[in-house]
Copies of this chain bind each other. A is one copy, B any other.
Amino acid sequence: AILAAIAAALGPKPLSGRHVIVTSGPTHEPIDPVRYIANRSSGAQGTAIAAALVDLGASVSFVTGPASVPPPPGVRVLPVETAAQMRAAVMEALPADAAVMAAAVADWRVENAAAQKMKKDGSGRAPALSFAQNPDILAEVAGLGADRPRLVVGFAAETEKVEEHARDKRARKGCDWIVANDVSPATGIMGGAENAVIVIDADGAETWPRLPKDEVARRLAQRIARALAWKEDA
């Protein structure tokens, strides 16, 4: 770790002068003042990516839900709780050269969240929750006109048909890359130290070996640096 830190400090800074927005962690969607809907994202992969981007010289706006790991040093931290707050923070952080949307954003929020704690009424029936679809931050950022980051990277956490779902997602969202992984409980990836990803881009699918999340982050940051340099030249 010390050698890696020295290498990073002394190494080339291909992202110097670049601004990258990274989203990370879960979102929490309130049901009432004490209950909420959550997901099992720890924020570990998003945090590692933000750190790796900083190592390459990027200026990082780190929009993070309530993660179980602390934000990395050197980023501008924008803490949020809900998907709606995450969307607002991302929009405010624009413009950016790249956006890496690693957060596990809740697809739905509770439309009739209660101001007071919901009580059992003795009927045995639960209060009816109605859901509204959350803003699709990835699709929205990927669909921006002049303000669109030159590189928009989405994530897909799947439990089945990982590559197929990820390809569909890339097409549907209009982003440049999808980093897909299998978060089935048996893989130990969600909340774990390692990740096994497939990177989908316009040219196809790149299957990476199972690696520590830090190493996935380092490779992804380098790939981002190359892509931005290439887009600059093009």
* A residues whose Cβ falls under 8 Å from a Cβ of B: 28, 31, 33-41, 104, 106-108, 116-120, 124-126, 129, 131-133, 157-160, 165, 183-185, 190
How distant is the Cα of A224 from the Cα of B34 in the complex, in angstroms? 28
Question: Contacts of A165 on B, CB cut-off 8 Å?
Answer: 119
Q: Are B36 and A159 in contact (CB under 8 A)?
A: no
How distant is the Cα of A185 from the Cα of B104 in the complex, in angstroms? 25
Q: Are A160 and B37 in contact (CB under 8 A)?
A: no
Among B28, B33, B120, B159, point to the contact of A159 (Cβ < 8 A). Answer: B33
Nearest B residue to A36 by beta-carbon distance? B38
Question: Contacts of A39 on B, CB cut-off 8 Å?
Answer: 34-36
Nearest B residue to A122 by beta-carbon distance? B172
Question: Contacts of A28 on B, CB cut-off 8 Å?
Answer: 38
Q: Are B116 and A159 in contact (CB under 8 A)?
A: yes
Nearest B residue to A32 by beta-carbon distance? B159
How distant is the Cα of A36 from the Cα of B129 in the complex, in angstroms? 14
Nearest B residue to A68 by beta-carbon distance? B68
